[in-house]
């Protein structure tokens, strides 16, 4: 009898641990989307940024394009256009000039982009079927 009770308790304990592990994984994905949004927002607004704006004329539903003028590590002013796109289930930011990229979020099955003069909106579908929207506000381009 004691053996049966022990087996039942171990079975309940094992299932409880599996449930906790599943819940932790689900929350991790939510945190990954939030972290990607915060990471990109910080990049856009960090102190070395002199100017930034969207480029809706270069964007479509498959990618967004924005311009950033900033100080590099040697305090030289640098100007670059960047593209946000989905490549191999990874939402990433790519420089248009030299092709370097930074992954923002993994595990994305679909992404749809909307770019206006004031914002970039990314609607994501993750590989587990959940959808999220990332919204990034931009100042309008200053006319020269």
CA distance 7 to 18: 16
Per-residue confidence at 84, pLDDT binned at 50, 70, 90?
very high
User: Does 102 reside within a domain?
Assistant: yes
Cα separations (Å) of 134 from 17, 36, 52, 57?
33, 9, 18, 20
Element (H, E) at 87: strand 77-87
Please, which residues have CB within 8 angstroms of residue 125's CB and are 6 or more apart in sequence? 108, 109, 110, 111, 131
CA distance 143 to 29: 40
Select the highest-mean-pLDDT range: 1-10, 16-25, 72-81: 72-81
User: Does 143 reside within a domain?
Assistant: no
Q: Are 94 and 82 in contact (CB under 8 A)?
A: yes
Question: What count of Cα atoms within 13 Å lies in the side-chain half-sphere of residue 94?
Answer: 14
Instruction: Work out the average pLDDT over 50-59.
Output: 92
Instruction: Convert the pLDDT of each residue in 85-143 to its tens digit.
Output: 999 999 999 988 877 888 998 989 999 999 999 999 999 998 888 888 999 999 988 87
**Whole-number average pLDDT of the chain:** 83
| Per-residue confidence (pLDDT) for residue 13, from 0 to 100 | 59
| Per-residue confidence (pLDDT) for residue 66, from 0 to 100 | 94
User: Does 142 reside within a domain?
Assistant: no
Q: Domain range holding 109?
A: 2-137
Specify the length of the chain in residues: 144
| Per-residue confidence (pLDDT) for residue 20, from 0 to 100 | 55
User: Does 94 reside within a domain?
Assistant: yes
As for how many domains the chain has, the answer is 1
**Can you tell me which residue has the tokens 């100080």?**
71
Per-residue confidence at 11, pLDDT binned at 50, 70, 90?
low
């Amino acid at each position: 009898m004691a053996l049966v009770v022990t087996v039942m308790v171990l079975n309940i304990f094992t299932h409880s641990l599996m449930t906790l592990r599943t819940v932790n994984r689900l929350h991790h994905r939510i945190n990954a989307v939030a972290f990607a949004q915060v990471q990109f927002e910080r990049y856009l607004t960090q102190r070395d940024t002199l100017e930034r704006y969207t480029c809706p004329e270069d964007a479509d539903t498959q990618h967004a394009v924005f311009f950033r003028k900033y100080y590099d590590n040697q305090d030289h002013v640098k100007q670059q256009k960047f593209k946000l796109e989905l490549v191999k289930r990874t939402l990433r930011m790519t420089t248009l000039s030299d092709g370097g990229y930074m992954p923002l979020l993994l595990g994305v099955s679909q992404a749809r982009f909307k770019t206006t003069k004031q914002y970039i909106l990314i609607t994501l579908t993750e590989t587990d079927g959940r959808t999220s929207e990332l919204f990034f506000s931009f100042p309008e381009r200053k006319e020269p």
